[in-house]
């Protein structure tokens, strides 16, 4: 099982939107609505931002939204703020072998 493919970087100015893609296969992203997204600041643990493709845990701003089409999921951050500058990783349930697969990661820069 290979890692999900994400662009290495994305950027936007404060107040703008940025969208990150996450491409997998029919065995993971395309096969289940169990895509999640994690935000990771330098030296910190990942933080759950989106689960089940588009649901936000309590406390996550509604500026963060998720979607999926076929084998590709996307995370959109609207109204970019300085604190959104971080690495973002997608993840998908992939059956039981393995249980989870992660994306390659995208560094988001707020210009």
Binding residues for another protein (CB under 8 A): 1, 3, 32, 34, 36, 38, 44-48, 51-52, 57, 89, 91, 93, 96-105
Q: Is the preceding omega at residue 15 within 30 degrees of 0, hence cis?
A: no
CB 48 within 8 A of CB 57: yes
Q: Give the nearer residue to another protein in terms of CB position, either 1 or 69.
A: 1
CB of 69 to another protein, least distance (A): 19
Is residue 5 a contact partner of residue 25, using CB atoms and an 8 Å limit?
no
Give 17 or 44: the residue with its C-beta nearer to another protein. Answer: 44
State the nearest-atom distance from the C-beta of 82 to another protein, in Å: 23
Q: Which helix (H) or strand (E) holds 91?
A: strand 86-93
Query: Most distant CA pair in the chain: distance in Å?
Result: 41
What is the closest distance, in whole angstroms, from the C-beta atom of residue 103 to another protein in the complex? 7
d(CA 54, CA 67): 6
- The smaller minimum CB distance to another protein, of residues 65 and 91, is found at 91
């Amino acid at each position: 099982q290979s890692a999900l493919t994400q662009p290495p970087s994305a950027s936007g100015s404060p107040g703008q939107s940025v969208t990150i893609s996450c491409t997998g296969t029919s065995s993971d992203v395309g096969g289940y609505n169990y895509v999640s997204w994690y935000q990771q600041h330098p030296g910190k643990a990942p933080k759950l931002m989106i689960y089940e493709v588009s649901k936000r845990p309590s406390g996550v701003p509604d500026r963060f939204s998720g979607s999926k089409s076929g084998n590709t999921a996307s995370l959109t951050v609207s109204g970019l703020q300085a604190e959104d500058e971080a690495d973002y990783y997608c993840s998908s349930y992939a059956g039981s072998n393995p249980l989870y697969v992660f994306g390659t990661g995208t560094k988001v820069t707020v210009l």
